[in-house]
Amino acid sequence: MKKKTRFRLFAVCAPGLEEILSDELSSLGIQGKKTTGGVEFSGDLMTLYSTNLWLRTASRILVRIGTFPLSRLDKARKRFSRYPWEIYLGQSEMVRIRASCHKSRIYHTGALSQRLVQGISDRLGKKIRLVSEERGKRSPLVFVRVVKDQCVLSADSSGEHLHKRGFKKLSVRAPLRENLAAAMLIASGYDGSMPLFDPFCGSGTICLEAAMIAARVPPGKRRTFAFMKWKGFDRGLWNEVVSHSEGFFVMPRFPIIGFDKDEAAINSSISNAVAGGLDQLVTFEQKDFATIDPKAYACSRGLVVTNPPYGKRLKENHGLLSFYKEFGQLFKKRFPAWDISLIIPSNAPMLRKSLNLHLRHLARFSHGGLSVELLSSIAKKG
């Protein structure tokens, strides 16, 4: 691949995060077009490498290989064979395929995947095997999507989901994904210019993401990517992108502290911070939220960002309502000059009411299969 080759790219995100992801791209000097489930944009090889390295809220970066009309399966194999699969498969003899069909004359995703594998094999002059997601986790991933008889072929440049930062070893039950934690922080306007507390930190995800934001550490610094196995991978350019990113590092000026009453959670948080080289940027303490007092940390103003506990069977859990009422009261009493952002289930107006805080809607997305709402005392931009 040449450095100046232009790519059509698509940054995938969880539905509901498109606006936040678009703002992230803008901060990198990239203008894109929002669409359901992500943002379309274009760029050269450095753009491809940089977005994988820097984007905090994206799930993966796809390279659009081709877009064309397709309404008959008997035409698919030959059409698929026209594209330069040798670039994206490298030396691999296996491929994973995610196929989808909507409102099209082609509706059988299995048959569509089979034709795509045949077309790739024809192009490469050797038999390529289709493997499942579980058995071929390290194999190249190709997307084929047919909507209204229009086919879009894409290659995944990221490899593992981008929420996997490459260092987190331990987690607690129902952990918050890193890209969702980053979205909470970015939507709340967090940039390291104020103290940040998480009173229910679990395995430390929100605080670790905050530490990377405050210190200007790229989230992909400690991981590998699928594009590293592509034909023509430019190791020199990649090293240049990583080296350039290191020049942005700054020591956070304000404390980032995670609290949890569970000792195992705090131990997990500390281990994860050490594994990520972030242990000098963040602090974790075993404390119940009722005993946290920002005055003890010489913090008069700041931001609380948290994922408080909640149950799915909300109507049966009256104790949870009392818990939220107590949390809201303590926040108003002990954090009068602080802002707060938190997520609660979208179908739980009783929890929001129990908090008795003046909160605005910032975003809605899925966490652990449950629709949740990001609420904040911070005014929504625009």
> Whats the size of the chain, residue-wise?
382
Average pLDDT over residues 262-289: 97
Residues 6+ apart with CB under 8 A from 372: 343, 344, 345, 346, 364, 365, 366
Pairwise CA distance, residues 85 & 150, whole Å? 20
**Residue 1, pLDDT score:** 73
Q: Strand pairing of 33-35 and 38-43?
A: antiparallel
**Residue 134, pLDDT score:** 86
Q: Is residue 232 part of a domain?
A: no
**Residue 153, pLDDT score:** 98
| 360 shares its domain with 288 | yes
| 27 shares its domain with 88 | yes
CATH of the domain at 69: 3.30.2130.30
| 347 shares its domain with 292 | yes
Q: Is residue 241 part of a domain?
A: no
CATH of the domain at 339: 3.40.50.150
| 44 shares its domain with 131 | yes
| 147 shares its domain with 266 | no
Q: Is residue 341 part of a domain?
A: yes
Q: Is residue 78 part of a domain?
A: yes
| 68 shares its domain with 19 | yes
Burial class (CB in 10 A: 0-12, 13-18, 19+), 354: buried
Q: Is residue 276 part of a domain?
A: yes
Q: Is residue 237 part of a domain?
A: no
Tell me, yes or no, if the pTM score tops 0.75.
yes
| 149 shares its domain with 278 | no
Average pLDDT over residues 225-254: 97
| 309 shares its domain with 189 | yes
| 197 shares its domain with 80 | no
pLDDT surpasses 90 at 172: no
| 207 shares its domain with 321 | yes
Average pLDDT over residues 155-166: 97
Q: Is residue 64 part of a domain?
A: yes
Per the structure, how many domains does the chain have?
2
Q: Strand pairing of 339-345 and 370-376?
A: antiparallel
| 75 shares its domain with 21 | yes
Q: Is residue 244 part of a domain?
A: no
Query: What does the mean pLDDT of the chain come to?
Result: 95
pLDDT surpasses 90 at 316: no
pLDDT surpasses 80 at 336: yes
Domain with 368 in it = 178-218+250-376
| 190 shares its domain with 78 | no
